[in-house]
A = this chain, B = another copy of it.
Amino acid sequence: MARDDHGVTPQSEDFSAWYNELVAKAQLADRGPAKGTMVIRPYGYRLWELLQHELDRRIKDTGHENAYFPLLIPESYLRREAAHVEGFSPELAVVTHAGGKELEEPLIVRPTSETVIGEMMSKWISSHRDLPLLLNQWANVVRWELRPRMFLRTTEFLWQEGHTAHAGAGDAMRETMLALGLYTEVARDVAAMPVVPGEKTAGERFAGAERTFTVEGMMRDGKALQSGTSHYMGTNFAKAFDIQYTSDTGRLEPCHTTSWGMSTRMVGGVIMTHGDDKGLVLPPMLAPHQVVIVPIGRGEQAEQTLAAARELAARLKAAGVRAHVDDRSQLSPGFRFNDWELRGVPVRLELGPRDLASGTALMSRRLGDEGKQPIPLASLPGDMPGILADFQAFLLRRATEFRDTHTRVADGWEAFAGAVASGWALALHCGDPACEAEIKTRTAATPRCVPLDGPPASGPCVLCGAPAAYGKRVIFGRAY
C-alpha cells in the first residue's frame, strides 16, 4: 500500500498495485456504485477530452460525419449475425422492464452498435451514389466484465465507433486501413505511444469480422495493450441487415462494411506507457495542466509571488500553454511539488521571493532529468511551447526505446518463454488455434498481431515445429 499521502507502491514491486493506487490518488477515476463501473473524475476526463478532440478532428478531416444511434437495441437484432451474438452474449446487460411494465421484447444496452447501425444503413442506402457512407459516433457502451480494471476493462466505457459501408471489398479494406492509420497516428503523435499496427490472428478477431486489425502498445511491465481496433466485416453484416445498393449496371449488391473503435482504455495506456515510481508522467498534448506554477513565500511575499504567478500563467495561456497556478498556500511547497509529480504535470515552475528578485522561475521537467533550471520570466511564454514539444518527443523516444529493448526475436522455446516473461517475442508460428492455446496455457502469452511492416520470414513454428504461417514473424506477449 501507499507510503504516505502521495506515495504509491513502486512499479517494480507490484505493477498492478501501482496502477490502482495511482488512478485513485491522481484523481483520475473512482469506482462507481454498480459492479465494474467507473467514475471518471475531472482530471481523467480532461485527458480523455484532449485525446477525443485530436481523434475527432482527424475522423472529420478524412470525410466521416458524426451521428448518434440509440443506446437500447432490440434483443432480436443481435441474433441476426450468428458470430456476433455468440461473441457478445456473455457480456450483455438487458433491460426487461420500462415505464413500469415488462417489455414484450427485452432491450440490450449496446455493447457495440453494428446491429442498429446496420439496420439504419439498410434504410439509407439504395444506390451506388449513396456510397461510401462514412459514419462515426461518440458513445458509451456496456459489456459485463468479470474482472473489471479501471480504464482497461470497465462495465461501461466511452469510445468512438466508426461504421462505414462501401461498394466493394477494395474500398472497404482501404477504409479499414485508413482507420488503423488514424489510430497509429493519434497514439504516436498525441499519446506518445509507439504502437505497432498489425493484423489479429483468426482466434483474436472481432465477433462477426472477416479481418481484424489492431494497434498494440507496450506497457512498462512488458505487457501489451490493445489500444484500438479496425475491422473489415466483408458482407457479413450487410447480409444480416440487408445493406444493399444498386450498382451502376442496375444489379443489387451487398455492401462491404467496416467498424473501428478507440476508447477510454487509452487513458490506461497513457498511465502505463509513461508512468514511474513517483506517479503519472503525462505527454504535454494530453496533460490537463501542461505547466503548474507553485508560488512560494510567507506573508507579504506570498502575495507578491502569487500575483506574479497569476501574471505568468496569463502570459503562458496567451501563448497557447495550459498553465495552472497552485494557490493552496496552506500546503507546504514540498507537498505541492509531490502532488504535481504524482499527477504527472510535464513542467513545474517554482516562484519564490528570490526567483522573483532575479526575474526568473525555477523550472523542473517531470522526469527530473535536467534538475532545476532558472529561466527568465520574460522569455518563458515564448520558450514554453518548444520545451513542451521537446518533452513530448522525449517521451515517445523513451517509450520506443523501452519497447525495442523489450522485444526479442525468439527462435526456440526457451528464448520465446524468456522473451514473453518480460516483454514481447517476435516468433514464427504455425497459425493453428490449438497451438496458440497451448502457448497461452504455458506462458500466458497470446499472439498480439502480425505486424504490418514485419519483414518476410519463414521456418518452423516456435512451439510445434510445423511450417510457419503469415509469411512473417508474429508478436507474442502477455496482455491486458
Contact = CB atoms under 8 A, between A and B. Distances in A.
A93 interface: yes
A39 interface: yes
A71 interface: yes
A45 interface: yes
Nearest to A100: B90
A333 interface: no
Interface in A120-175: 120, 123, 129, 135, 139-140, 142, 144, 146, 155-156, 158
A123 B39 CA distance: 12
Nearest to A129: B330
Interface stretch (A61-69, A190-198, A379-387, A416-424): A61-69
A90 B116 CA distance: 26
A443 interface: no
A144 B42 CA distance: 30
A397 interface: no
B45 A66 contact: yes
B92 A32 contact: no
A34 interface: yes
A66 B44 CA distance: 10
B116 A68 contact: no
Nearest to A144: B99
A95 B94 CA distance: 5
Contacts of A135: 42
A98 B66 contact: no
A96 interface: yes
B99 A146 contact: yes
A383 B117 CA distance: 41
A37 B70 contact: yes
Interface in A57-103: 65-74, 77, 89-100
B93 A97 contact: yes
A326 to B, nearest CB: 14
Copies per complex of this chain: 2
Nearest to A120: B39
B40 A68 contact: yes
A264 B74 CA distance: 23
B67 A30 contact: no
A70 B39 contact: yes
Nearest to A139: B140
Given A30-B123, A33-B119, A73-B33, A68 B39 contact: yes
A49 interface: yes
Contacts of A93: 72, 95, 97-99, 107
Contacts of A158: 68
Contacts of A100: 89-90, 92, 144
A32 B118 CA distance: 12
A325 B33 CA distance: 50
A99 B91 contact: yes
A94 B92 CA distance: 14
B40 A67 contact: yes
A3 B129 CA distance: 25
Given A95-B95, A96-B96, A70 B116 contact: no
Contacts of A73: 33-34
Interface string A18-43: 00000000000010111001111110
Q: Looking at A89, A90, A120, which has the most chain B CB atoms within 10 Å of its CB?
A: A120
A33 B144 contact: no
Nearest to A158: B68
A109 interface: yes
A11 to B, nearest CB: 27
A46 interface: yes
Interface in A1-17: none
Given A42-B135, A95-B95, A100-B89, A70 B33 contact: yes
A34 B91 contact: no
A66 B37 contact: no
Nearest to A137: B45
Interface in A228-245: none
Contacts of A330: 129
3 residue pairs, one from A and one from B, having the closest CB atoms? A99-B144, A42-B65, A37-B70
Given A33-B73, A34-B70, A34-B73, 5 more contacts: A33-B70, A34-B72, A45-B67, A46-B66, A72-B93
